[in-house]
Chain A
């Protein structure tokens, strides 16, 4: 392998930037931004260079240091380089680069600007750490660090109560998932005796039954981690609230990378998952995709619509892992992850551009007519929307089609669900586009909107390129080569590749396309000229429930949180009144009573002493002689 040092540099440059900013340049805006942006852009360039030199299949060699070794617990610290991690390296550094540059413009007026970049760099470091991990503990360490950096970034405006609450909620909900993840790691280690992915894979390849009765449990526990981080039902509640962070943060960690970590992790440990576990995973993914898409229809905040759309798309990816089946090929999940990272980052950055142009207005019903006032934002946003909806030849069509095709093999339920969600996706996205960018301006802010400066517009243009073309870059084949032995590939011309899905899996492709058309026409009919939302009248209580996210947050508040607080109250009461109160105060009181009794005896009166003395002598004499 050439230039083995490069992956280490790619990983640690952002950490270095974060450290230097935190320790030395918190007062210097320019240097801080340069350090942070420089680190991630250098990471992207070096990643490209490394792949140019070594290809996507470097010699299978892990660069390893012994991090901890006690008894039979051995944890290495290394870098795993294979198509999966190298692809993610490109996605993370690439998308993060665009977002870092964009942030330079978006956050310019903020007083916490250096702190912001320190947070971004720390996040990039943690995410790269997850991608390159060679074993479970290393992965878990970076997993938690991603949780930390998301806490810091969501709560960036910590003086705003809602932001501070959202940060706390995100971290705690993630922790719930990590609890299961940790137990899953324990089960795997106890049964297979190793934590290293390569060793585990070999062991399971040699003996597929090595996990024995614990196989399903281990798989589901590990999946818990992904449920938390990738915001799957029922732990999805943190992600929409996380939109309290600055918009580029939403783009980076709640669209393109952090939430993708769960899906990436599932692909990384795919060999551990057996058929029953995968079935549960597919169902959870499908439920999340549907639930989030339905909720998205009745949201009015531009960022929240995108947040629920992210949830829904993550549901797709998780479902793709599930429907791959044991020993199958989860490459469609990674394919969609990669394309989604590009176009969802673009959507969020576009939303950020709109929000800034309208002086922090986020309600789509106060926008309108932005098409002409913000042309770059509009056109790039449209490209990303088409990609998200799955219109050929945009990238999203190919990745989504791969998932729906895989679901088709699994059975009619998930296939139907996939198609319905595709229709819903088109509906809510065109509701957003039509209301916010078309029609008349619905507020003063919208009438005086202005296009964003170049430092923000260029990242939009750059991200539009992969949103359009990433479907043709062979991502699926690349990742798939890790799971199934490659068939002798016959070269196809580029124009054939455009139509390939219609040839290979026509039902999925035409079904998806039909769904897009239905969704679009519905949205157009309802929203093309609307100034208020016509749906609530038509749907009644259902719309209210959708707007209120089916009251899931309130439900958790009333049950889980209330319950834990109640137990805590009982424990506290017991501690305060029974142990400390009765027992200790009792001892206190008894001792004091005893002391008082003794003090009565010590009167200082000589006659009393003489009397007691005589009495004592008499008693002693009685016992000594009388008996």
Chain B
């Protein structure tokens, strides 16, 4: 069995075991949950460390395991990792362990809580490990449903019911749209398989028709987008996280939310490149909504959790910008931010949960002067806030600046420099707006004269520190040695970028004539080799960008002509 099966299996097994434990054995529930997530974490760390030396399958995945389930439909339990998801799984395992650790704040119906937490953990890790569309989606739903229950039952604040309603409404719609898209993808691809590597390979050889691409891609973009709180479908997130118990917020904001982004990168971009290309400038505009608009909204928040929630939405904008750049640097940066933000979101929600547990409020006007009482928690929170506004040394900085660089030079859609203004605004959001709300919060909550009402507030004891230290240390590690991540991500991102940036066909083919919908792209149709005469008029960066896309852009010319041949009947 693959290591991956252990990683996602332990939490699910533990959930099953817990179901048979009497409910007043509270300590057992806690030990089982921490033990199972801890085991997951150990295995995930081992997998991350052995990644370089592990055997690679023909499709480029490691630690693979395939168990056929419904052969007639092409569904199988297929798990495996490449550079894209190995870091995400490690991050998920770290966050899950940390979430189990901070669950000591749950004081009622603990058994049920831990069962749901373990199911959620197994689901999240399974979703990232799955290389089969069916299980990919199934595991995501497995993780999503407990979220609603946990917010509804263990949530806090007066807005709990409304928040539960809103988050359920949004996420169900998002998941449903994505499901529609995935089913349509299965039906339209003609590959008759749910297996992602096979499907990818098949579509690389036989691209989907533009009509079906343009039908399916928006479903996936907005379906996955809603799951990631893409502007303007974001209002569920701050409210939901504000009302959620800390472990749930950590797992959802940190890990589960990345599912949509992962789906976009793994499935939507490479399988529907032409549709992706025509939608990317829409995405670029929408991501400014996340970065700028939601960043400004975060500035106005008076409640710490709402502020963190909004900031988490704003951070998703950077990932979207990286994706929209359709460049190797940008997408690698996007994956780094996904991992970094996962750790960071878990850290901030965990810390704010501790704060809430100690002070009974997260209204910033009622807090203040807490640093003397809470040296560790305060220092950790201030560090987290600095990480959130992109301070070097933390992994977020690496990802964000890579996204800026990738997007700045991405001349793919409308020629070199077309995205510069997006980057300018994004940099404003990252460097200025982020710093404004983070530092204001640090000032309001921790600085200022000590107050008597906090005399009873106690700092974390060594056990309570474990999850926070673990998360901070990971952020530091990846921030100081980013190649731990990028050296794994880049080789996996290369073929995806190559597929996603592939042109519809060679210039002057049927596709161009018969598909007015893609007219703007076909204006930029580029020949395969930079040396061909057509490129002579293009800017130098453009040519180098094409070369940079690597050998994988098209396997051979022969493949490309196969694309044209196959496409023409469908297009007509």
- Chain B residues lying within 8 Å of A241, measured Cβ to Cβ, are none
Contact B439–A71 (Cβ < 8 Å): no
- Chain B residues contacting A579 (CB-CB under 8 Å) are 232, 235
CA distance A165 to B440 in the complex (A): 9
Range, interface on chain B? 35 or more
User: Which residues on A sit within 8 Å (CB–CB) of B61?
Assistant: none
Whole-angstrom distance between the Cβ of A417 and the nearest chain B Cβ: 32
Tell me whether A164 is interfacial, beta carbon within 8 Å: yes
Contact of B423 among A186, A564, A572 (CB under 8 A): A186
Query: B139-147, B198-206, B216-224, B385-393: which lies at the A interface?
Result: B385-393
| A580 proximity list for chain B (CB < 8 A) | 166, 235, 239
Q: CB of B169 within 8 A of chain A?
A: yes
* Beta-carbon contact of A571 and B166 below 8 Å: no
Q: With contacts A73-B402, A190-B409 known, is A144 near B449, CB below 8 A? A: no
- Interface 1/0s, chain B 233-265, versus A by CB < 8 A? 001100100000000000000000000000000
B281 an interface residue at 8 Å Cβ cutoff?
Answer: no
Q: Mark A299-319, 1 if CB is under 8 A from B, else 0.
A: 000000000000000000000
B405 and A179 within 8 A (CB): no
| Contact string against A for B residues 395-412, beta-carbon threshold 8 Å, 1 for contact and 0 otherwise | 001100110111011000
Q: A67 to B480, alpha carbons, bound, how many Å? A: 9
Q: Which residues in A have their C-beta under 8 angstroms from that of B165? A: 588
Contacts A141-B392, A145-B393, A176-B432 hold; do A73 and B439 have CB atoms under 8 A apart?
no
In the complex, chain B residues whose CB is within 8 Å of the CB of A160: 449
> Are B482 and A172 in touch, CB under 8 angstroms?
no
Q: Out of B333, B424, B449, name the residue touching A159 (CB < 8 Å).
A: B449
Central interface residue in A176, A190, A564, by most chain B CB within 10 Å: A190
Interface-central residue, A70, A72, A137, A155, by most chain B CB under 10 Å: A70
Query: Do B486 and A70 touch (CB < 8 A)?
Result: yes
By a CB distance below 8 angstroms, the chain B residues around A73 are 329, 402, 405-406
- Per the bound structure, the CA–CA distance linking A70 and B331 in Å amounts to 10
Q: Verify if B465 is at the interface (C-beta below 8 Å from A).
A: no
A-contact bits for B277-304, CB 8 A (1 contact / 0 none): 0000000000000000110110111000
The answer to whether the Cβ of A462 comes within 8 Å of any Cβ in the partner chain is no
Asked if B431 CB lies within 8 Å of chain A CBs, one says yes
Q: How far is the CA of A142 from the CA of B391 in the complex (A)?
A: 10
The answer to whether B300 touches A572 (Cβ under 8 A) is yes
Question: Distance in Å from the Cβ of A560 to the closest Cβ of chain B?
Answer: 11
Which residues of A have CB within 8 Å of B448? 158-159, 161, 164
A172 touches B436 (CB 8 A): yes
Q: Which of B296, B443, B490 contacts A164 (CB 8 A)?
A: B443
Pairwise interchain contact A70-B300, C-beta atoms closer than 8 A: no
Binary interface encoding of chain A residues 173-208 relative to chain B, with 1 for a CB under 8 A from any of its CBs, else 0 = 001101100110010011000000000000000000
B450 and A159 within 8 A (CB): yes
Chain A, residues 57-70, CB within 8 Å of chain B (1/0): the string is: 00000000011111
How far apart sit A39 and B532, CA to CA, in the bound complex (Å)? Answer: 60
B548 contacts the other chain (Cβ, under 8 Å)?
Answer: yes
Interface string of B361-397 (1 = CB under 8 A from A): 0000000010110000000000000100001110001
**Binding site of B, secondary structure by majority: helix, strand, loop or mixed?**
helix
**1/0 contact string of A64-108 vs chain B (CB within 8 Å):** 001111111100000000000000000000000000000000000
Q: Output the least CB separation between A333 and chain B (Å).
A: 26
Q: In this assembly, does B483 line the interface, its C-beta being within 8 Å of a C-beta of chain A?
A: yes
> Closest chain A residue to B299 by CB distance?
A568
Q: CB within 8 A of B393: which of A141, A176, A575? A: A141
Query: How long is the Cα–Cα vector from A148 to B428 in the complex, in angstroms?
Result: 18
Residues of B within 8 A of A209 (CB): none
B residues 330-367 near A (Cβ < 8 Å) are 332-333
- B435 interfacial by beta-carbon distance below 8 Å: yes
- How distant is the Cα of A575 from the Cα of B427 in the complex, in angstroms? 23
Contact of A72 (CB < 8 Å), options: B416, B439, B548: B548
**A73 CA to B405 CA in the complex, in Å?**
8
Indicate if B112 sits at the interface (CB-CB under 8 A).
no
CB < 8 Å neighbour of B392 from A140, A164, A571, A587: A140
- Residue pair A182, B427 in contact (C-beta under 8 Å): yes
What separation, in Å, do the CA atoms of A564 and B235 have in the docked complex? Answer: 21
Known contacts A165-B443, A568-B296; A183/B239 CB under 8 A: no
B-chain residues with CB within 8 Å of residue A158 when the two chains form the complex: 371, 446-448
Which parts of A573-620 form the interface with B (CB within 8 Å)?
575, 579-580, 584, 587-588
**Minimum Cβ distance to chain A for residue B310 (Å):** 9
14 A–B pairs (Cβ distance < 8 Å), ordered by A: A67-B483, A68-B483, A68-B486, A71-B332, A73-B405, A168-B443, A171-B439, A172-B432, A179-B428, A182-B431, A183-B424, A571-B300, A584-B169, A588-B166
Residues of B within 8 A of A (CB): 162, 165-166, 169, 232, 235-236, 239, 293-294, 296-297, 299-301, 327-329, 332-333, 369, 371-372, 386, 391-393, 397-398, 401-402, 404-406, 408-409, 416-417, 423-424, 427-428, 431-432, 435-436, 439-440, 442-443, 446-450, 482-483, 486, 490, 541, 544, 548
Closest 5 CB pairs of A and B: A164-B447, A572-B300, A141-B392, A568-B296, A71-B328
Name 7 extra pairs, CB < 8 A, besides A67-B483, A69-B486, A168-B440: A70-B402, A73-B329, A168-B443, A172-B432, A572-B296, A572-B299, A580-B166
